Amino acid sequence: MIKTVNIGNLKIANSTYGAYIDYFDKIIEKKNPENIISYVNTYVFLKYLKDKSIQNCLDSFLLIPDGIGMHLALKYFFGPLISTEKIVSTDLWDILLLYLSKNKRRVFFYGGWEISYDNLKEKILGSYPGLSIAGFFDGANKLKENDLKQIYESKADVLFVGLGTPLQEKWILENKNNLNIPLIIACGSAIDFFSGYTKRAPMYLRKMHLEWLHRLLLNPGRLWKRYIIGIPVFVFKVIIIKIKFEGKSKQR
């Protein structure tokens, strides 16, 4: 099992890349459906605090901490009890796909925007040649009963759902019992990265923990509130939660 910690009422996984891959492998081997994974970054964390429906939704998932903001927040709360490894969800999914490719696994993709199956297939098989693509639906269309049947009959080991939070998590909760897939992952923008439609930040920016800045510069109209306003608000909220947490601890 993956250990978890709490910030406020949000339960967040606390582990390493290697341990996550081992955990996912055990899930796939058991072939038991309904194992659902998502991520929490600074943006998702603030949405969780604000929206009760998102709280109820995310509480059903194993939540992977995503990015430098969540890593520092966990360190601030729990210090040496937190893994020293900063987790980036896109890197984790990449490592998982490499592992699945090595083991000849089947993967289904639902999500991504303005990408075609041919482009996704070419990019995926170029990067992960041992992977078998069980199917793909783009995120622009709501799936019908026959589409869900195709996923069910695909015999996929993993389903990546990339519709953005909270749409992807709500869709998974509504449909997970009718998918027959051991591991279901809410992956945000990852399918766009997998297809090559969206370019990731250069490695030097990633090493400087500035991948968020690269995304902001690529799409300032959509993301400026998330980063320019969201990051300071996130820091403020975490400090307030920490003060309340320490206050309750002293009263015990």
How would residue 175 be classed by pLDDT, with cut points 50, 70 and 90? very high
Q: How many CB atoms lie within 10 A of CB 64?
A: 24
Domain count, the chain: 1
Going by C-alpha positions, the residue among 131, 178, 195, 187 that lies closest to residue 157 is 131
pLDDT given at position 33: 65
As a whole number, mean pLDDT of residues 57-77 equals 94
Helix (H) / strand (E) containing 147 = helix 145-152
DSSP state of 199: P
The verdict on residue 247 lying in a domain is no
The verdict on residue 248 lying in a domain is no
pLDDT given at position 113: 82
Give the CA dihedral 100, 105, 111, 116, nearest 10 degrees: 100
pLDDT given at position 162: 95
The verdict on residue 194 lying in a domain is yes
The verdict on residue 209 lying in a domain is no
Give residue 150's domain range: 4-203
pLDDT given at position 42: 96
**Contacting residues for 155 by C-beta, under 8 A, at least 6 apart:** 106, 134
pLDDT given at position 116: 85
pLDDT given at position 54: 92
Look at residue 252 and tell me whether its pLDDT is greater than 60.
Answer: no
Residues forming a β-bridge with 40: 65
Structure tokens at 167: 């749409």
The verdict on residue 130 lying in a domain is yes
**Taking the alpha carbons of 84, 198, 158, 73 in that order, is the dihedral positive or negative?**
positive
The verdict on residue 166 lying in a domain is yes
The verdict on residue 69 lying in a domain is yes
pLDDT digits (tens, 9 = 90+) for 12-49: 999 999 999 999 999 999 877 668 999 999 999 999 99
Helix (H, G, I), strand (E, B) or coil at 18: helix
Lowest mean pLDDT among 8-17, 26-35, 145-154, 184-193: 26-35
pLDDT digits (tens, 9 = 90+) for 82-123: 888 999 999 999 999 999 999 999 999 999 887 888 889 999
Q: Environment class of residue 105 by beta-carbon count within 10 Å: exposed (0-12), middle (13-18) or buried (19+)?
A: buried
The verdict on residue 106 lying in a domain is yes
Phi-psi region at 40: left, alpha or beta (left = phi > 0; alpha = psi -120 to 50): beta
Look at residue 71 and tell me whether its pLDDT is greater than 60.
Answer: yes
pLDDT given at position 142: 86
